[in-house]
Chains A and B, each alone.
Chain A
Amino acid sequence: MSVTGNPLQPTLFERSRPGRGAGTRLPAAPADALDRLPSAARRAAGPALPELNEATLVRHYVNLSQLNWGVDTGFYPLGSCTMKYNPKVNEWAARLPGFAALHPLAPDETAQGTLELLWRLEQDLAEISGMDAVTLQPAAGAQGELTGILMVRAYHRARGDAARTDVLVPDSAHGTNPATASMAGFRTVNIPSAPDGGVDLAAFRGALGPTTAAVMITNPSTLGLFEQRVVELLEMVHAAGALAYMDGANLNALLGQFRPGAAGFDVMHFNVHKTFSTPHGGGGPGAGPVGVRSHLVPFLPEPLVLREPDGTFRLERAGERPTSIGRMRSFAGNVGILVRAYAYIRAHGAAGLREVSEDAVLAANYLKHRLAGAYVIPFPQPCMHEFVASSSEIKAASGVRTLDVAKRLIDKGFHPPTIYFPLTVEEGMLIEPTETESLETLDAFAEAMLEIAREARETPELVKEAPHTAPVRRLDEATAARQPNLRWRSATGGGHSA
């Protein structure tokens, strides 16, 4: 991996010099501006923030950025995260002053452009998912999950059914699923997967009952496989009086191919930062809209975006729909992210979105085909947008683990895939190429993987000690956790008055 800056960058605080860069961004405040405040409420000493001129600031961040790898840098096949290219026109769109400068409490009549965009996005996502209605409020996929499971809870309670205390989750699920069930007050029941990677219908049949509130299924699964027994599973879930939640993290495989609501799922979330290409930003922001079938519409969080008979749009008022589970966060949602998602959907149309999924699935199958032989492919059937490979045979032969393979990929100029997830595959790698990577990139990655497999046989230490060319070597994570250093403390001890 090429790095042009000095790998070791001083912190902002170390670059600071008293008096540097002060006083040019805005006029000095009137000296008496704060005299009317009671002294007890005032800060005794100002915060010890760094003092930098702009050139120093710019070099700090530009040099730091060069220690980072993004989709704009190169291939980033991080399974389950859909690291596709993020079109720049979407960034332009979100920054249009009409969208960016709009205050969230602006009266509806002054916010018609954004409200119409949000309403159209609700319609588009409902069409894509086959759901009857969509809320755009959740700030990320995990908050979407919580929203959905809280609606499940409200649905059962509204029917006078308080006995449903369990949420069934396959053992291959994202960790957010069981964590969500706990936050919503449910007990998680983990269900093992079948040998073919799909749901084990018998295990579900055994666990389903009058205490089951919902089943959470990721489809395609975290193994990259379409859940072939989905129809039977949904019938069983509904026959037991429970609801079916679909984790939509992997929707990128299914656009125009499978509509979860039409197939019988009751509720699902979207990860717009995955499927609809909004930038991942080093860990967010995303947005996690939730789609529901009609029987869950009364419980959607508020506010929804409504279209009036005269064609104008408005936000639902607090308390207007008393059956709502309430708010999940302030205001309407991560609207700036939703603007990007809307732009992406409009750029594609129905045929374009279908092609996105076709190309994503084609690329994943092609890459799987190229790696087969050098790596164990535990599920040989056609995959969806991602697939699992395993270094288990390489490890048995050479001691080189998946972690080592991942680190060696860094030397070869690629971001590693997701590793050791799902937890159900030994030495697993979840590889998701996405539809925006060219054939030459896919081939170059495949060649690098094959070369690492050879290196593992011939020079295993080279692989075990990787990365060799990254800005830093492997890290001491144990000390970081045992003796946490979570903030800079300047020699002066900081400026707060405590």
Chain B
Amino acid sequence: MAYGPHTAGERGRMLAALGIASVDALFEAIPDGVRAGGLDLPPALTELELMEHLRELASRNRTDLASFLGAGVYRHHAPPVVDQLLLRGEFYTAYTPYQPEISQGTLQTIYEYQSLLAELTGMDVVSASHYDGAAATAEAALMTCRATKREHVLVSRSVHPHYRETFETYFAGANLTFAEIPLLVEGPAAGTTDLASLEAMLADPARPVAGVVAAQPSVLGLLEPMAEIGRLAHAAGALFVAVVEPVSLAVLAPPAAYDADIAAGDGQPLGMAPSYGGPYLGIVACRDSLVRQIPGRLIGMTADLEGKRAYVMTMRAREQDIRRERAASNICTNQALCALAASIWLAALGPVGLHDVAATGAARAADLEAALAAAGAPRLHAGSYLNEFAVRVPDAITVHRRVLARGILAGIPLAELEPGDPALAEGLLVCATEVTTPAEIGRFAAALAAELAPAPAGVPVEAVR
């Protein structure tokens, strides 16, 4: 085997100590009828062969293209110091800090993660981590049901569709219900949460609402009327869950400022590689008053017997290994290393660097908007955005494919991300960040202009703006 230490002689010594001739004797508890005869797997590879094989597989992914993909996963500058520190074996190869005396490194870094995210969100309590933004949002919604003892949640279609689908899965299991709040189709606020519908849904006496969930920015990149959504939720006795993108909180009002009770989101933008979907970082944060409802681990500062400052896993009575079937969640292994990566990334950038990441992305996105509009693809919505927005492109899926042939990943056709929504059928969702270059924007605009047939005379091309 590849990584084991034993010589034939050492195996022999262990067997002799046990008084058996072969290791097979140790497997005799497996009944004969179900004892496996072996496995049919590809042959073992040496390290050299393995590296050649993996390099070849990786080379078949087209990561050389100019990419304007976002929708919850964003490329950002990754200072090399982050990964080099992350790879310290003492962090990397430890597990859950069950023995605090020899886990102070992990414990303090998670306490610092909780503190950094508390600063970003303005919330009091941040859990040690969840799987990703979708699972974190589902857990936040379940929290609202436990806290209010109500069984119905409203989720705005401003929330990423994968999060809403995850929600649906979790809620079906928990025998809870939810309904989607539609987005406005027309007018200056088109694409954002329909407040009148929300108000009507909250007024249904048959369905008292535990929580209202909305995203800032929305999955369409738009800035949502979070303060109004929160006010409506609270007036109906519901809790308000804000789904946030953490980098945006450098410049956007934090959830505490608009009175959110819980903040959830994905920490991937805090320096994590896209890696085709993970590992990322589920963020759950809440007010002090909800601390007994928050799922997942919490690290607290305390002291040791000599009064020295130290850290420990705390409020463990919420967790599955203590509370079993009455736990707040079944979560055990979380995404601790990703929380560490996020912390190092935030500390490496600092407040000035983080502001520059968010603001430069906004500036590049404005450049992108102008370039795409000039190429014949104006914005789909009129509302404000930070660094992501939708443009109108007739037959977006086909155009997207043709532009791909020119070496450009032209964002995401909304017909694929939100199928069945006629208001979005001609949308391409595009984003820019600080790593998007002006040259890439120029190439995208040129490719799009070449693919978009010139509009016949007399047809207004800017019907939306």
Contacts and interface: CB of A to CB of B under 8 A. Distances in A.
B342 to A, nearest CB: 12
B379 interface: no
B465 interface: no
B44 A351 contact: yes
B458 to A, nearest CB: 32
Contacts of A382: 25-26, 28-29
Interface residues of B, number: 202
B321 A472 contact: no
A376 B230 CA distance: 59
Which of A47, A69, A407, A476 has the largest number of chain B CB atoms within 10 A?
A47
Q: Which 6 A-B pairs have CB atoms at the shortest separation, nearest pair first? A: A72-B89, A281-B337, A98-B58, A331-B277, A349-B44, A68-B105
B434 A62 contact: no
Contacts, number: 718
A263 B32 CA distance: 11
Nearest to B277: A331
B53 interface: yes
A281 B336 contact: yes
Given A103-B276, A127-B40, A176 B360 contact: no
A127 B37 CA distance: 12
B174 to A, nearest CB: 6
Interface in A162-205: 174-176, 178-185, 188
Interface stretch (B161-169, B177-185, B196-204, B442-450): B161-169
B333 A142 contact: yes
A47 B362 CA distance: 18
A26 interface: yes
A87 B2 contact: yes
Given A318-B419, A355-B4, A476-B305, A114 B276 contact: yes
Contacts of A400: none
B378 to A, nearest CB: 16
Contacts of B299: 486
B334 to A, nearest CB: 4
A107 B403 CA distance: 12
A484 B314 contact: yes
Nearest to A104: B277
A258 B38 CA distance: 9
A491 interface: no
A236 interface: no
Interface size class of A (residues with CB under 8 A): 35 or more
Nearest to A150: B173
Contact of B34 (A263, A415, A436): A263
Contacts of A67: 102-105, 108
Nearest to B360: A29
Contacts of A262: 34, 36
A37 B104 contact: no
A34 B362 contact: yes
Interface in A20-79: 20-23, 25-30, 33-34, 36-38, 40-44, 46-52, 54, 57-58, 60-62, 64-73, 76, 78
Interface stretch (A89-97, A388-396, A455-463): A89-97
Interface string A85-117: 111010111111111111111110111111011
Which of B39, B163, B333, B350 has the largest number of chain A CB atoms within 10 A?
B333
B54 to A, nearest CB: 5
B47 A362 contact: no
Contacts of B53: 346
A1 B101 CA distance: 10
A487 B115 contact: yes
B105 A415 contact: no
B14 A439 contact: yes
30 contacts: A22-B353, A28-B356, A38-B223, A42-B252, A44-B253, A49-B350, A54-B79, A65-B88, A66-B105, A69-B99, A72-B90, A76-B95, A87-B2, A98-B63, A102-B63, A175-B320, A183-B330, A188-B325, A279-B92, A281-B338, A328-B135, A349-B44, A354-B38, A358-B26, A362-B14, A365-B18, A384-B29, A410-B102, A438-B6, A472-B104
A457 to B, nearest CB: 24
B251 A435 contact: no
A52 B350 contact: yes
B366 interface: yes
A487 B354 CA distance: 20
A37 B384 contact: yes
Nearest to A9: B108
A92 B59 CA distance: 14
Given A44-B257, A257-B36, A472-B104, A8 B279 contact: no
B115 A13 contact: yes
B273 A279 contact: no
Interface in B82-101: 83, 85, 87-101
Contacts of A21: 350
Q: Name the prevailing secondary structure of the A interface residues.
A: loop
A399 interface: no
A291 B74 CA distance: 31
Contacts of A64: 104-105, 108-109
Contact of B91 (A49, A98, A281): A281
A207 B460 CA distance: 72
A267 interface: no
B273 A474 contact: no
Given A231-B34, A285-B335, 13 more contacts: A34-B362, A57-B344, A65-B85, A76-B95, A81-B95, A84-B3, A93-B51, A182-B325, A330-B132, A369-B18, A472-B308, A477-B312, A484-B298
Which of A66, A104, A416 has the largest number of chain B CB atoms within 10 A?
A104
Contacts of A264: 34
Contact of B58 (A99, A176, A287, A330): A99
B298 A415 contact: no
B101 A29 contact: no
A330 B134 contact: yes
Nearest to B357: A26
Given A175-B321, A332-B276, A382-B29, A25 B353 contact: yes
A142 B167 CA distance: 17
Interface in B10-24: 10-11, 13-15, 17-18, 23
Given A258-B36, A259-B36, A329 B135 contact: yes
Nearest to B87: A91
Contact of B63 (A65, A101, A365): A101
Contacts of B346: 49
A297 B318 CA distance: 34
Contacts of B459: none
Which of A43, A52, A495 has the largest number of chain B CB atoms within 10 A?
A43
Contact of A473 (B132, B304, B355, B356): B304
B84 to A, nearest CB: 8
A407 to B, nearest CB: 7
A490 B23 CA distance: 59
Which of A178, A331, A333 has the largest number of chain B CB atoms within 10 A?
A331
Interface string B131-145: 111110000000000
Nearest to B13: A439
A142 B99 contact: no
Interface stretch (B65-73, B207-215, B234-242): B65-73
Contacts of B401: 107
B308 to A, nearest CB: 6
Contacts of A244: none
Interface string B141-169: 00000000000000000001111011011
A139 B9 CA distance: 40
Given A33-B362, A140-B131, A337 B114 contact: no
B436 to A, nearest CB: 12
Given A326-B169, A381-B29, A488-B115, A439 B275 contact: no
Contacts of A335: 275-278
A7 interface: yes
B94 A68 contact: yes
B77 A112 contact: no
A456 B4 CA distance: 34
Nearest to B305: A473
A480 to B, nearest CB: 4
